[in-house]
């Protein structure tokens, strides 16, 4: 085992200082060292999207980022989004549409959906599917997930128009 | 899988990076965005002694205009290429290709320099570099040098960047008022590796083509320009007849690799279809 290195970054709004093995991925650090298990590990090669977290405000694969690379960054996991109103709307829409079956992909789906709606994404189904192209779900066939995101995107558009 | 053990070093400057590489005795790998290196470690395709993080080196970041060229730092993330106004104005072909690179989350972290040095034959940016006739600025301990894109992509996953050297920036000639370009690819699913991809840049004045550049990706070990096709396009009127001749010329230009999923004849057919679409698009935009 190689020597551990010091690491400090902001995790869910709070400073973190730790020692970490260089080969440890950010996903493993979150799950094993911080017990933040909303971040899932599927493929561990950047394909399935189950491990997405917000890194400096944009979705990133926690399996493709070494914990050491998070030095100085601002990382937000799904646990850290629970106070976010838009995330609450997305979670409610996922529940309404039964958009989670086994739930393994859901954290990643919600992270992608949050970025999509925040960036002004429209309810257009093709655009939503394009945004979700890096998130695999092996249960639902995606229909319910797209429905849920489209509903929230539509509501967000109306809210913006009214404002 | 999990990556094998290695030591991790951060290089604040180019000089530090070269020193760390030297100290590693050739068993070190540079780490930029890590979106090709980290999965290759997880898959245990390579096992370096040391990773040298080059993300913080100042020369590697930023996009700016410099002496009629657009200088794009190698650490520029794909998402920045997609959103940058200077890229949109001066290198529109690059901005057009960016949405085809992987998936949104990958584009947030992956870097153009890392992408070019990885030199995947199905990757979009290497073909775009050929069509833009960009120059790659490579730093070595002895100094910087510039390599034209056509000499940069040497073979499968192999570039002119020698071990220990670092791609610092790309220099792209800025587009003129009559520059027209198009990019597209054909893949089975969005974000999958392309079965074929094509980058076209031409100068179009009064319907006549000058300086045509056509580059294909996913046709062999490296991206390819197609000289026969370009000769047909040069000084020709952009018309249905010209497009048909350009498509025909691809047969002599391309010799696609054999692949059980996409046989050579199918790939050549797809190349013709895609070229027809892109030139047709430029023709329609012009009318």
DSSP A4: P
Q: Report d(CA B198, CA B215) in Å as an integer.
A: 6
- Separation of first and last alpha carbons in chain B: 54
CATH code of B242's domain = 3.30.390.50
Return all residues near B287 (Cβ < 8 A) that are at least 6 apart.
none
- The chain A residue lying nearest B8, using CA atoms, is A22
Residue B1 is assigned to a structural domain of this protein: no
Q: In what order do the strands lie in the sheet with B179-186?
A: B179-186, B196-205, B208-217, B224-225
- The chain A residue lying nearest B51, using CA atoms, is A22
pLDDT band at A140 (very low <50, low <70, confident <90, very high): confident
Q: Report d(CA B155, CA B124) in Å as an integer.
A: 16
Q: Report d(CA A62, CA A22) in Å as an integer.
A: 14
Tokens of A163: 């404002």
ipTM for the assembly: 0.94
Residue B256 is assigned to a structural domain of this protein: yes
pLDDT digits (tens, 9 = 90+) for A4-30: 999 999 999 999 999 999 999 999 999
Nearest to B5 among A23, A69, A130 (CB): A23
Q: Count of A–B CB contacts within 8 Å? A: 93
Domains of chain A: 5-80 (3.10.20.30), 84-162 (1.10.150.120)
Q: Report d(CA B198, CA B268) in Å as an integer.
A: 12
The residue out of B107, B139, B173 marking a domain boundary is B173
Return all residues near A38 (Cβ < 8 A) that are at least 6 apart.
A77, A78, A79, A107
Please give the residue range of the domain that contains residue B33: 7-53
pLDDT digits (tens, 9 = 90+) for A39-49: 999 999 999 99
Measured between beta carbons, the chain B residues lying within 8 angstroms of A59 are 104-105, 108
Interface residue A49 vs chain B (CB under 8 A): yes
pLDDT of residue A163: 78
CATH code of B90's domain = 3.30.465.10
Query: How many percent of chain A have pLDDT more than 70?
Result: 99
Tokens of B193: 């590796």
pLDDT of residue B208: 97
Is the domain of B150 the same as that of B227?
no
Is the domain of B193 the same as that of B280?
yes
Tokens of B116: 């070019």
Nearest to B42 among A22, A44, A68 (CB): A44
CA-based torsion, B262, B263, B269, B271: positive or negative: positive
Is the domain of B26 the same as that of B67?
no
A65 to chain B, closest Cα gap in Å:
7
The residue out of B138, B154, B173 marking a domain boundary is B173
Is the domain of B125 the same as that of B151?
yes
Cβ of A63 within 8 Å of Cβ of B42? The answer is yes
pLDDT of residue B287: 66
Return all residues near B70 (Cβ < 8 A) that are at least 6 apart.
B63, B64, B86, B87, B90, B91, B171, B172, B173, B174
pLDDT digits (tens, 9 = 90+) for A56-83: 999 999 999 999 999 999 999 999 998 9
Q: Report d(CA B214, CA B202) in Å as an integer.
A: 8
Q: Report d(CA B136, CA B237) in Å as an integer.
A: 33
Residue B2 is assigned to a structural domain of this protein: no
Q: In the block, which residue shows the tokens 């005795």?
A: B25
Q: Report d(CA B167, CA B170) in Å as an integer.
A: 8
Q: Report d(CA B259, CA B104) in Å as an integer.
A: 28
The pLDDT averaged over each successive group of 10 residues in chain B (287 residues) is 93 98 91 95 94 97 95 98 97 97 95 97 97 98 97 97 97 97 92 92 96 97 98 98 98 93 96 98 87
Tokens of A57: 């405000």
CATH code of B20's domain = 3.30.43.10
Measured between beta carbons, the chain B residues lying within 8 angstroms of A68 are 8, 53
- The chain B residue lying nearest A26, using CA atoms, is B38
Measured between beta carbons, the chain B residues lying within 8 angstroms of A61 are 35, 105-106, 109
Paired with B115 in beta bridges are none
Average pLDDT over residues A85-106: 96
Residue B234 is assigned to a structural domain of this protein: yes
Residue B275 is assigned to a structural domain of this protein: yes
Cα angle, residue B109 at apex, residues B57 and B175 outer, rounded to 5°:
80
Cβ of B109 within 8 Å of Cβ of A64? The answer is yes
Measured between beta carbons, the chain A residues lying within 8 angstroms of B7 are 2-3, 22
User: Is the predicted pLDDT of residue A95 greater than 80, yes or no?
Assistant: yes
Taking residue B43's Cβ as centre, other Cβ atoms within 10 Å add up to: 12
Is the domain of B67 the same as that of B115?
yes
Is the domain of B184 the same as that of B272?
yes
Output phi, psi for A146, to 5 deg.
Answer: -65, -40
User: Is the predicted pLDDT of residue A1 greater than 70, yes or no?
Assistant: no
Is the domain of B195 the same as that of B224?
yes
- Domains: count for chain B: 3
CB B135 within 8 A of CB B94: no
Paired with B155 in beta bridges are B158
């Amino acid at each position: 085992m190689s020597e551990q290195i010091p690491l400090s970054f902001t995790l869910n709004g709070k400073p973190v200082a730790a020692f970490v093995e260089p080969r440890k991925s950010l996903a493993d650090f979150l799950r094993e060292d911080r017990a933040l298990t909303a971040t899932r590990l599927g493929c561990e090669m950047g394909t399935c999207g189950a491990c997405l977290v917000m890194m400096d405000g944009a979705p990133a694969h926690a399996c493709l980022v070494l914990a050491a690379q998070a030095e100085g960054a601002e990382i937000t996991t799904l646990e850290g989004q629970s106070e976010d109103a838009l995330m609450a709307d997305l979670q409610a829409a996922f529940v309404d549409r039964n958009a989670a079956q086994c739930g393994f992909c859901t954290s990643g789906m919600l992270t992608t959906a949050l970025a999509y709606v925040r960036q002004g994404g429209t309810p257009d189904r093709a655009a939503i599917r394009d945004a979700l192209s890096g998130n695999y779900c092996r249960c639902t066939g995606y229909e319910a997930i797209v429905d849920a995101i489209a509903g929230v995107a539509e509501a967000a558009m109306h809210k913006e128009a009214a404002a | 899988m999990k990556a094998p053990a290695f030591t991790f070093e951060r290089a604040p400057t180019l000089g530090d990076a070269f020193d760390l590489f030297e100290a590693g005795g050739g068993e070190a790998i540079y780490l930029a965005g890590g979106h090709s290196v980290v999965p290759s470690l997880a898959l245990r395709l390579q096992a370096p002694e040391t990773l040298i993080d080059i993300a913080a080196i100042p020369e590697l970041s930023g996009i700016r205009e410099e002496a009629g060229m657009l200088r794009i730092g190698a650490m520029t993330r794909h998402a920045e290429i997609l959103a940058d106004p200077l890229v949109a104005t001066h290198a529109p072909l690059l901005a057009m290709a960016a949405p085809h690179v992987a998936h949104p989350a990958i584009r947030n972290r992956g870097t153009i320099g890392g992408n070019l040095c990885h030199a995947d034959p199905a990757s979009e940016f290497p073909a775009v570099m050929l069509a833009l006739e960009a120059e790659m600025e490579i730093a070595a301990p002895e100094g910087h040098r510039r390599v034209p894109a056509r000499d940069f992509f040497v073979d499968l996953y192999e570039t002119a960047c020698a071990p220990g050297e670092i791609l610092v920036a790309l220099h792209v000639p800025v587009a003129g008022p009559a520059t027209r370009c198009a990019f597209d690819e054909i893949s089975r699913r969005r974000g999958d590796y392309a079965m074929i991809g094509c980058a076209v840049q031409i100068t179009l004045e009064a319907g006549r083509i000058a300086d045509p550049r056509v580059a294909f990706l996913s046709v062999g070990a490296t991206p390819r320009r197609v000289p026969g096709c370009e000769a047909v396009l040069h000084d020709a009127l952009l018309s249905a007849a010209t497009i048909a001749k350009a498509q025909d010329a691809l047969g002599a230009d391309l010799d696609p690799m054999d692949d059980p999923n996409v046989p050579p004849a199918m790939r050549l057919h797809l190349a013709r279809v895609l070229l027809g679409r892109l030139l047709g698009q430029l023709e329609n935009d012009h009318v």
